Amino acid sequence: MKSSRIPGFYNMSVDERRKLLKDNYDLTDEQMRNLSNNPSLSLDKANNMIENVIGTYELPLGMGLNFVINGKEYTVPMAIEEASVVASASHIAKIVRSAGGFEAKSRERLMIGQIQVVGCSDFKDAKQALLNQKDTLLSAANDAYPSIVKRGGGTRDLDVRILNEDANSTYSQMLVMHIYVDTCDAMGANMINTMVEAIAPIVEEITGGKVYLRILSNYADRSLASARCVIPPYLLTTGDFTGQEVRDGVIHAYEFAASDPYRAVTHNKGIMNGIDPIVIATGNDWRAVEAGAHAYAAKDGQYGSMTTWSEDEAGNLVGEIELPMSVGIVGGATRVHPLAELSLSIMNIESAAELAEVIVSVGLAQNLGALKALATDGIQKGHMALHSRSVAIAGGASGEMIDVIAKKLIDQKEIRVGKAKELVEQYKQ
């Protein structure tokens, strides 16, 4: 197992980093070509993926280092445009690896398909009729996608709810049937949609109602992944701040997010800073993951934190995260986009559940990165220094000029585009 701890990686040239990755992860020549091709996704492939294609859109792909999750080393590809995210994740992963790494698990991986039935003469009878025909319905859904059954997956259960039974409007009264499906290593949206569409006529026959919507639910709360870390305070010492002070600051910051949606949204955005880049790098559907994660953050009735931070009896900082994680290692774009395939192989991911565990661990790390900065120097010091290169480019710098202008922006403590433009003009003269 190659260590994800690669000292000095940030100081290497892009070519040196690529060579190191090739050697460390036995990447093939074709994978290396895909990495250096611009665009990596061919126009031909892109044109077959979506409609009205005019080109491809690239994002920086960086490596999150130092991760140890369930005792396994992970170097994590992250596709993101925002500076300081990759550095912050790697910084926290280094602290957590000194504390034994992240522990992560996936409880079960069932995706949910919904069928909406309206116009039943008696909703209670219709509900009972569906429950009586459970086996027939589950096996009809399996028949619509037999290959997933052969792989060991398929339907596992169903349930039925009546919504708005007493509403005055018949538009509001409805029955909603869920089927729960093990989609194995796929995210499963297309599988589920195929299944629910196939059994809709049977549902109409059983209920005497009319089926309207038949589609996957992105609230994947039967596909939860969780991660945990326990950090002794001495590992949190930062500048003039003691580890205990940092720990307390992180817990206060968490309590703020847990109590106030205005803070929780920003707190959770920081968590998604770690999650989305891996979801994107692996060709997964980040809108699905975003939607499910935010809904889960409101599961107790008020939108709150996706993580919890507390102090254990020994005074350690304990961080936990649990989120719906509807991702796959097959299907969708995961095997179509060449860099998605590369990202999965660098992480040496063997199952969708394992990918979900890595993703939530990085989300937890990213959250601690932000809270630790907020509880100490504030977010701007580290972030703006790393953002200075982008500001220099936005101000017109190119080539060797970028580093010079970025350094001047930091030295003069004015990291903004107007200042960068001035400095670029001076440099040219």
* Secondary structure E strands in 57-208: 61-69, 72-79, 103-106, 110-118, 154-163, 174-182
The catalytic position among 73, 285, 341, 357 is: 285
Q: Closer to ligand NDP at the Cβ: 214 or 267?
A: 214
- Catalytic one among 383, 387, 408, 419? 383
Using rule CB under 6 A, residue 340 touches ligand NDP: no
First to last CA, the chain: 53
> Which residue's CB is nearer to ligand NDP, number 34 or number 183?
183
Does 91 participate in catalysis according to the annotation?
Answer: no
Question: Is 122 considered catalytic here?
Answer: no
Q: Is the dihedral of CA 11, 416, 62, 375 positive or negative?
A: positive
Binding residue for ligand NDP, selected from 137, 138, 184, 231, defined by CB under 6 A? 184
Q: Are 83 and 387 in contact (CB under 8 A)?
A: yes
Instruction: Write down the least CB distance from residue 46 to ligand NDP, Å.
Output: 14
Report residue 314: phi and psi, to 5°: -85, 0
- Identify which range of 255-263, 323-331, 359-367, 406-414 contacts ligand NDP by CB under 6 A: 323-331
Query: If binding is defined by CB under 6 A, does position 190 make contact with ligand NDP?
Result: yes
* CA 56 remoteness from chain centre: 22
Among 112, 117, 181, 189, binds ligand NDP (CB under 6 A): 189
Regarding 48 and contact with ligand NDP (CB under 6 A), the answer is no
- Own/partner long-range contacts of 143-147 (Cβ < 8 Å, ≥24 apart): 143/198, 144/194, 144/195, 144/197, 144/198, 144/199, 145/191, 145/194, 145/195
185 binds ligand NDP (CB under 6 A): yes
Counting contacts by CB under 6 A, is residue 356 touching ligand NDP?
no
Residue among 19, 124, 269, 381 flagged as catalytic: 269
From the CB of 287, what's the least distance to ligand NDP, in Å?
Answer: 7
List binders of ligand NDP among 246-305 (CB under 6 A): 285, 288
Candidates 52-60, 78-86, 183-191, 259-267: pick the segment binding ligand NDP (CB under 6 A).
183-191
Q: In what order do the strands lie in the sheet with 174-182?
A: 154-163, 174-182, 110-118, 210-217
What DSSP assignment string belongs to 42-68? -HHHHHHHSSS--------EEEEEEEE
* 51 residue type, one letter: E
Q: Both tokens of residue 218?
A: 């992105």
Tell me which residue has tokens 């044109």.
47
In the complex, the residues that contact ligand NDP under the rule CB under 6 A are 147-148, 151, 183-191, 193, 216, 218, 285, 288, 328, 330-333
Active site residues: 82, 269, 285, 383
